[in-house]
Structures are given as structure tokens and as C-alpha cells.
Amino acid sequence: MLNPNQHLNPRLFDLNVEQVPIRKGFGEGLLAAAERDGRIVGLCADLTESTQMHLFRNKFPNRFVQIGVAEQNLATVASGLAAMGKIPFLSSYAMFSPGRNWEQIRTTICYNDQDVKIVGSHAGVSVGPDGGTHQAIEDIAIMRVIPRMTVVVPCDALEAKKATLAIAARRGATYLRLAREKTPVITTEESPFELGKANVLVDPDKPNIAIFACGQSVYNALVAGKKLAKEGIHAAVINLHTIKPLDTKTILHFAKKTSRILTVEEHQKHGGMGSTIAEFLAENYPIPMAILGVDDQFGQSGTPEQLVEYYGLGVNSVVERAKKLVGKF
């Protein structure tokens, strides 16, 4: 049963549920934030429409800088603008930023404690036909290890808009991870969002297992939870939209309540959201858990649906892994 306190989309499980690209929410959020704060500036690496920064550029052309295909410059120019009191948002495909400019992000932005927001679009295998060169599935790992970096992975377009407004209002380097394809709208305007606080979307009285997911994987986790309930397995489903700082309170609560945790993400199994949770639990409350993610492989071309299934991130894969985990103990 959906948690009523989350005010989720009432048509969430309809076959014709509304679907909107998560990146669109960023574009709308950036525009709204810029209207509130004149210090916000935008920089892009020749992908303005693709990353949805064109909404900001069209309204505020004098506050927009087109860097071109030069992602290392993108990061260093943004850092300089931050040092002069601006709040820069830089956007590109996640494979190129932070993929190509990681050292500049680490040293020029984070080491110098500059207030820069890094927006990586087209992350995960559901990018689809662009193939492995454009499917960032290592980005959470390389960004969460940088000191002073916040990492946010919204589950839908509405949450992406809220996340953009939240990081604009909060000082500090932040990585915002976005998906390319249309994804189901899970939340509503009334749904709560707070950086660093997970949202418990399904909260049974006596859950057998807790499923943590982020980004575009949250919807499959919800559908899997509904299927599991029909088989008598009651799963709590948690949207862990902030990977860093980690909501250890919620994780510990469900670890103690269920003794079994499953994580799902469009990212490498190693170093991503699941690894973050495992690292915390290993030192604080070790329990059986499983991580669903890409298993030490690169992406490849295909439709988003084909790739999600191929890498074992589809609804049935979540259901089967949850059943195995519950059946062990």
C-alpha cells in the first residue's frame, strides 16, 4: 500500500501513467531558481537542448555561457564564476561531465570549496541506442568519493525540479544525476522532498524486506513491491534520492525492521548506491543484502526496455531477487 504521507501519483500503476523525461524537471527547476536568484548562471558543453538548459538560456541569455565541447574548461570556468560570487550550474552528458572532467571537479571545484552544481544527464543504461560510450554507469561511484560533494538522483521529473531548487538554495558542490528517456511520474507537487532524507513510498506494517532504489529504478521497485505483495511478501520501498549525505537513520530503521535489504540502480553494482548502503551497514548493523546493478560490464546499444531487462534491472528481476533474499532466512 502506498504511503499516504508521500502524496504519490494516484494513477501510478495505470497502464497509461504519465511519463516525462527526468531531465525536463531540471530545466524547469533551473529556470524557476534563476528567476528567484540573480546570482545563478548556466554553462553548457554544446548540449543545451539535450540537457534542457535551453529554457534558462532563452530567458536569461546574458547569464548563459556556451563553452563548447570542452568539459574540462566547463568545470574550471564554473569554478571561477563561483569564486566571484555566482552560483553556476554546468550541464552535459554524465559520461563527459563528470566522466571527462573529474579531476577539474575534484581539484578546482571541491578542493577549493566552490559552490558549483554539476548536472549529468543521460545517465544509466536506459539511455538506449547511443550505446556504451554514452551510458554513464560509474558516475555515482566517482562523485560520491569526493569530499564536499553532495550527490542527488531524483526519481522523476517533478522530483528533479524540486531537487534543482533545493541545491540552488543550498551552498556547496553538488552532482545532480538525470536520465534521458521518459519515465513514469511517481510523485506530485505535494510530495515531500528534502535533501538527505529518503522518502518511504511503501511502508507495510510488517515488511519482510526493504527495497532501496534511486533514479529511474524507483518505478520498477514500486511495481515489483506490488507483485511481491500478491505473493505474500511485504516489501517496504524507499526512494533514496540523496546518495550523499546518506540518510543513515532510515537505512538503519529498515535494516532492524526487516533484516533484509535489496538495492536497485542503473549503475555498476560496485561503488554505487548499493555499495554506499552496504558500507554503512557493514560497520553499524550487518544484515543479509543484495545489490542489483550492472555487474562489471559496459553498456551497449538497444532500446531502453531491452537494456534494463538484459542487465537484470527489470521488475521480474527485482521480484526474483527479493524472493531469494527472503527465502534464505
Segment 31-57, tens digit of pLDDT: 999 999 999 999 999 999 999 999 999
Note whether 272 and 230 are same-domain residues. yes
Q: Where does the pLDDT of residue 1 fall: very low under 50, low under 70, confident under 90, or very high at 90 and above?
A: confident
Do residue 158 and residue 262 come from a single domain? no
Do 118 and 200 have their domain in common?
A: no
For the chain, what percent of residues have pLDDT higher than 70?
99
Task: Give bridge partners of residue 123 from the DSSP assignment.
Answer: 136
Mean pLDDT of 176-194: 97
| Percentage above 90 pLDDT, the chain | 99
Among 150, 184, 218, the domain-final residue is 184
Same structural domain for residues 166 and 233?
no
Q: What is the pTM of this model?
A: 0.97
In degrees rounded to 5, what are phi and psi of residue 50? -60, -35
Q: What is the pLDDT of residue 241?
A: 98
Condensed to tens digits (0 to 9), the pLDDT of residues 139-173 reads 999 999 999 999 999 999 999 999 999 999 999 99
Question: Any idea what the CATH number is for the domain that residue 283 is in?
Answer: 3.40.50.920
134 and 237 within one domain: no
**Mean pLDDT over the full length of the chain:** 97
State how far the Cα of 1 lies from the Cα of 266, in Å rounded to an integer. Answer: 25
Same domain, 169 and 37: yes
C-alpha span between 195 and 308 (Å, rounded): 27
Last residue of a domain, one of 145, 167, 184: 184
Average pLDDT over residues 188-207: 97
Question: Which one of the listed residues 18, 28, 71, 309 is annotated catalytic?
Answer: 71
Is 198 strand, coil or helix? coil
In the chain, how many domains are there? 2
Span 252-267, pLDDT tens digits: 999 999 999 999 999 9
Residues 238 and 104 both lie in one domain? no
Domain that holds residue 173: 19-184
Cell output for 269: 553494482
Residue 177: which pLDDT band, with cuts at 50, 70 and 90? very high
130 and 148, same domain (yes or no): yes
Clarify whether residues 227 and 133 are in a common domain. no
Sign of CA dihedral 201, 267, 245, 100: negative
Closest among 277, 274, 275, 268 to 312, alpha carbons compared: 268
- pLDDT, residue 329, reads 39
Beta bridge partners of 244: 151
Same domain, 169 and 215: no
Q: Could you report the per-residue pLDDT of 113-123, keeping only the tens digit for each?
A: 999 999 999 99
For residues 61 and 158, membership in a common domain is answered with: yes
Q: Are residues 78 and 211 in the same domain?
A: no
DSSP letters for 102-115: HHHIIIIIIITT--
Using the 3D structure, point to which of 127, 151, 184 is the last residue of a domain: 184
**3-class DSSP state for residue 158?**
helix
pLDDT in tens, 53-82: 999 999 999 999 999 999 999 999 999 999
Q: Is 71 a catalytic residue?
A: yes
Instruction: Give the closest residue to 260 by CA, choosing from 281, 279, 244, 275.
Output: 281
